[in-house]
A and B are shown apart, each in its own frame.
Chain A
Amino acid sequence: MNASLRPRLTACLLPAVTAAALIVLWYVIKAAFRVPTFVLPAPHEILVAAWEERAFLWPAALVTVRGALLGFSAAVGVGFLLAMALGFSPRIKASFYPLILVLQMMPVTILAPIFVLWLGQGLPSIVAITFMIGFFPIVANTTMGFISVDRNLRELFVMCNATRAQEARYLRIPGAMPYFLTGMKIAGTLAPIGAIVGDFLAGSAQGGVGGIGYMTISYFSQLKTPALFATGLVACLMGFLFVGGVNWLHWRLLHTWHDSMVKKE
């Protein structure tokens, strides 16, 4: 076998083997203890339920993805701009950063009913909750990026009589990109969770379609356990979708130069 191929094969093979072993264990436990399906469905029953419920799950997934995407985009946009303000002026940072921390300490389960009071049931509240969950990691990381500019590079810009706008454009923003993307990665994993939690707490089936969180409650109350598990599967796929998207962006922006991407011999 080719030596360079082996690590890649191991990287694919090992998790597959582990997963297969766990699935076997699942079946064994279910059979040995005679666990009924409404408590623990077998893996194939979950897949069957996902297929049978596709007419409900697919639109629900779209609703949740829409909420997650809107909330995530708002978190990225607002987070970046706020981080820029915080990073550029120590005074603004001193004034606002502690307050942002306070906001972050507030559990989203407490914020959710407040949003519902203000914005009503439905998409606006879900977006607001997703935003609240994804916003902080982006602000915290990106602010760090704007602050930790190499001192010599800053002095280089001073020697060039660079304006503040030039310093932002050519030095601080590109320098903060790795940090920004790290924040985006964290926010990206949280976005679908935020949208589902939001849907759980503030969702509605107005217009006939609820999100994944709404479907979870619905299946739970009907004791449709395989379908309940299937919502988990859908949520998982959504998470991978978001992380995949951010990873792609990370690669696009950094693969030419950043330590996390370049292969050094």
Chain B
Amino acid sequence: MNAAPVVKISGLNKRFGTGPRVLDGIDLEVSQGEFVSFIGPSGCGKSTLLRLIAGLTSASEGRITIDGMEPEKAREKMFFVFQDATLMPWRRVAENVELPLLLRGDAPAHRHERVGRMLEIVGLAGAAEKFPWQLSGGMRMRVSIARALSVAPEILLLDEPFGALDEMTRDRLNEDLLSIRSRDPFTGFFVTHSVAEAVFLSSRIVVLGANPGRVTAVIDVPFPYPRQSELRETPAFLRLLATTAQALRAVRS
């Protein structure tokens, strides 16, 4: 993983209007294939940082580049998974997954084949013709992930996607996300409140402090991929969990 950085953030400041700085002096370089989690107290700007990388909002000072390009110009390399599933209630599951392919003008045959494969990967092949209201919260999130993966993004940005789900569903989806990633590799950015989730998924954890949001610690997670659920019970995992929790607590006090 010594590739050149895909995402380069330097001297990044962000304020909304004339308000106080939400993010202050963020410097970060992320290489291809990394999985980076942003964790921190509410209001530390972790979601804003993700939106900045996506080009959904722009920096007040400093710069973000994706493969040397402005985020707005690099959108075809990226996809965003929102906090709630953000599905279109009038489109069936398959049609929701198909949407990004449709918007970029892929041929129907290719769309069809791709959608089928994505739904299989997230384990929802049988739900293709259902409407979002017929699915559980966990299933809706799977659809959202399938939709994001349909365009095979190089960079996947996930904004607390599993925050509203129960712990069992969340653990399951964490494992599924990693197994998907082992087949269709992407560079991941993941915002979360959950220390366990961050440690299980990430190759690197960036701890942010609040008011203003600053990087207070960067923790490397040495466990090799693919990771299985048993990893969660190993002493090394639990030690790292403790380290991360301490880093987070240091921010809060």
Contacts A159-B80, A161-B75, A257-B131 known; A166 to B86 CB distance under 8 Å? no
How many B residues are at the interface, by size bracket?
20 to 34
Q: Name which of A28-36, A77-85, A150-158, A191-199 contacts chain B.
A: A150-158
Q: How far is the CB of A234 from chain B (nearest CB, A)?
A: 38
Measured in the bound complex, the distance between the Cα atoms of B89 and A171 in whole Å is 11
When chains A and B are docked, how far (Å) is the Cα of A38 from the Cα of B79?
75
Contact with B along A239-259 (1 / 0, CB 8 A): 000000000000000001111
B89 & A258 in contact (Cβ 8 Å cutoff): yes
Contact B79 A159 (CB under 8 A): yes
Contact pick for A257, options B54, B80, B90, B104, CB 8 Å: B90
| CB of B225 closer than 8 Å to a CB of A | no
Which B residues from 73 to 91 make CB contacts under 8 A with A? 75-76, 78-80, 82-84, 86, 88-90
Q: Which of B82, B88, B90, B104 has a CB less than 8 Å from the CB of A160?
A: B104
Residues facing A in B126-156 (CB within 8 A) are: 131-133
Residue of chain A at shortest CB distance from B151: A160
Q: Which of A168-207 contact B (CB under 8 A)?
A: 170-171, 174-175, 177
C-alpha spacing A256/B133, complex, angstroms: 10
Taking a contact as CB atoms under 8 Å apart, the answer to whether B133 and A257 are in contact is yes
A55 at the interface (CB under 8 A from B): no
Beta-carbon nearest neighbor of B105 in chain A:
A166
A94 CB contacts on chain B under 8 angstroms: none
Is A117 interfacial (CB 8 A cutoff)? no
A174 — which chain B residues lie within 8 A by C-beta? 88, 90
In the complex, residue of chain A having the shortest beta-carbon distance to the beta carbon of B86? A152
- Chain A interface residue count, CB cutoff 8 Å, equals 23
B250 interface hit (Cβ, 8 Å): no
Give complex CA distance A185, B236 in Å: 64
* Cβ 8 A contact of B131, one of A152, A156, A159, A256: A256
Q: Are B76 and A256 in contact (CB under 8 A)?
A: no
Q: How far is the CB of B216 from chain A (nearest CB, A)?
A: 28
Which residues 55-110 of B sit at the A interface, judged by CB distance below 8 A?
Answer: 56, 75-76, 78-80, 82-84, 86, 88-90, 99-100, 102-104
Chain B residues with CB under 8 Å of chain A are 54, 56, 75-76, 78-80, 82-84, 86, 88-90, 99-100, 102-104, 131-133
The 9 closest A-B pairs by CB, nearest first: A152-B86, A160-B103, A152-B82, A257-B90, A257-B89, A162-B103, A174-B90, A159-B80, A160-B100
What are 19 A-B contacts with C-beta separation under 8 Å? Answer: A152-B83, A155-B82, A156-B80, A158-B56, A159-B79, A160-B104, A161-B103, A161-B104, A162-B103, A166-B103, A170-B102, A171-B88, A174-B90, A175-B90, A177-B90, A257-B89, A257-B90, A257-B131, A257-B132
Identify the A interface with B (CB < 8 A).
150, 152-153, 155-162, 166, 170-171, 174-175, 177, 256-259, 262, 264
